Amino acid sequence: MMELFWLLLPVAAASGWWAAKRSISRQEVTAAERSPGYFSGLNYLLNEQPDKAIDVFIKMLEVDSDTVETHLALGNLFRRRGEVDRAIRIHQNLIARPMLNREQRAQALLELGRDYMKAGLFDRAESLFNELGEMNMFQAQALENLLTIYQQEKDWEKCLQVAKRLEQRTGISRRRECAHYYCELAEEAQLRKDLVKTTKLLKKAHLSDESCVRATILQGRIEAMNGSPKSAIRTLRQVEKQDSAYLSEVLPEIIDCYRELGNRAELVKYLRKLYERHHSISSVLALTDFIQEDEGDEAALRFLSGYLHAHPHLEGLNRMVGLSLKSGHTDGWGSLQILQQVLTKLLDHRAAYQCVSCGFTAKTLHWQCPSCKSWSSIKPRDGLDEICPRLPPQIDQNPTLARHNP
């Protein structure tokens, strides 16, 4: 109640001021008759009847050139507080007044559309934003809101249309968003088993944004499923150039394709180069497997422990504990088993992905952040950066790692 009191107090003050101003211009009005509505509104407010208080204050603030901004501000305050019904009522009352000029009406329509969006009434909001487009008023804001609506409704064709109009209107590139809309349509076509349509849409995605990792991953997976491992390897390896943060997403599939071709030597060579360029945990764990196969548990353990000294990582630590148990290190056997159980639980519950824009964390990869709605901003989390700062690289100083480097 007190929060609402402080919210409505400025409105009551404005209403009192307006009533006083009006009464001064009408000298025949007695002091007792100057602003009876003002005291009535305060009485409703103090008696915890905010809806009646709002009605009184709105009636007192007759819509004219001096009070339109006050109505708009009051409605926006209610919307931000989550009291959408009140915001809608205020903005509807404003629009119903015939004396508004063209710009004031457009502003009220925009705010009412935002109210409807907040309430989840997308069809009504869409109608108002389209009306603003026909009026050629507040077009950029209206298009931004339409884009949000169509993304919510997953109407990707309309998203493409609106994004291109926005690009023309504002001069701000929407190529990244458009690439993702094409990818969304490609995934829908893939579900329908329309391979020709899927391929065309992925090409459009790459034409829109040549650095679109998502389109590359989708294309590589299609090639792998269609029995073309060489093409899949060639496509998926492009991810490193586009955004190396996503290497961990495609490396298992690249490894599977190399194994399908029976080209183990080429695979190990690729992994070593990958490790040398990025020191990523995904390449390190893959190399650990091959060192274990070729040289045994002890060599794999030395390699992995040397890496973890410079690059702390929960998944790497969990693998190291497993190797220690397997290699027959009986000292502290029970403690190692407990440590592995704890690490496994930590890995099961950790958020493997994080939005670089707003910090949102997730267990699975989202191409659009559910929090800030940015595209391509959620990436795999690397190491223990969220727990402790990364240590300076010490790869070259470690004799074990030096021995296994190409």
Q: What pTM did the predictor assign?
A: 0.75
Q: Which residue has the higher pLDDT, 395 or 339?
A: 339
Q: How far apart are CA 144 and CA 146, in angstroms?
A: 5
CATH number at residue 25: 1.25.40.10
Model pLDDT, residue 352: 76
Whether the predicted pLDDT of 33 surpasses 60:
no
The pair of three-digit structure tokens given for residue 160, joined into one six-digit string: 């493409």
Model pLDDT, residue 322: 79
Model pLDDT, residue 59: 62
Q: How far apart are CA 131 and CA 106, in angstroms?
A: 9
Tens of pLDDT, residue by residue over 270-296, are 999 999 998 888 999 999 999 999 888
Q: Flag whether 314 is in a domain.
A: no
Q: Flag whether 359 is in a domain.
A: yes
Q: Flag whether 228 is in a domain.
A: no
pLDDT band (50, 70, 90) for residue 328: low
Q: How far apart are CA 94 and CA 100, in angstroms?
A: 8
Cα-Cα end-to-end distance for the chain: 70
Q: Flag whether 299 is in a domain.
A: no
Whether the predicted pLDDT of 391 surpasses 50:
no
Q: Which residue has the higher pLDDT, 346 or 388?
A: 346
Residues 6+ apart with CB under 8 A from 37: 15, 19, 56, 57, 59, 60
Q: Flag whether 166 is in a domain.
A: no
Q: Flag whether 121 is in a domain.
A: yes
Identify the H or E element spanning 70. helix 68-80
Q: Flag whether 60 is in a domain.
A: yes
Domain boundary among 93, 124, 152: 152
Residue 368's beta-bridge partner residues? 375
Q: Residue 74 sits in which domain range?
A: 2-152
Domain boundary among 152, 179, 194: 152
Domain boundary among 124, 152, 180: 152
Q: Flag whether 355 is in a domain.
A: yes
Model pLDDT, residue 141: 95
∠ CA 397-404-267, nearest 5°, is: 140
pLDDT band (50, 70, 90) for residue 398: very low
8 Å CB contact between 119 and 84? yes
Give me the residue label for tokens 């397997």: 326
State the CB neighbour count (10 A cutoff) for residue 168: 10
Whether residue 355 is annotated as binding a ligand: the answer is: yes
Whether residue 369 is annotated as binding a ligand: the answer is: yes
Domain count, the chain: 2
Kindly state the average pLDDT of the residues 33-59: 59
HEC string of 301-370?
HHHHHHHHHHCCCHHHHHHHHHHHHHCCCCCCHHHHHHHHHHHHHHHHHCCCEEECCCCCEECCCCCECC
DSSP string, 110-130: HHHHHHHHHHT-HHHHHHHHH
pLDDT band (50, 70, 90) for residue 48: low
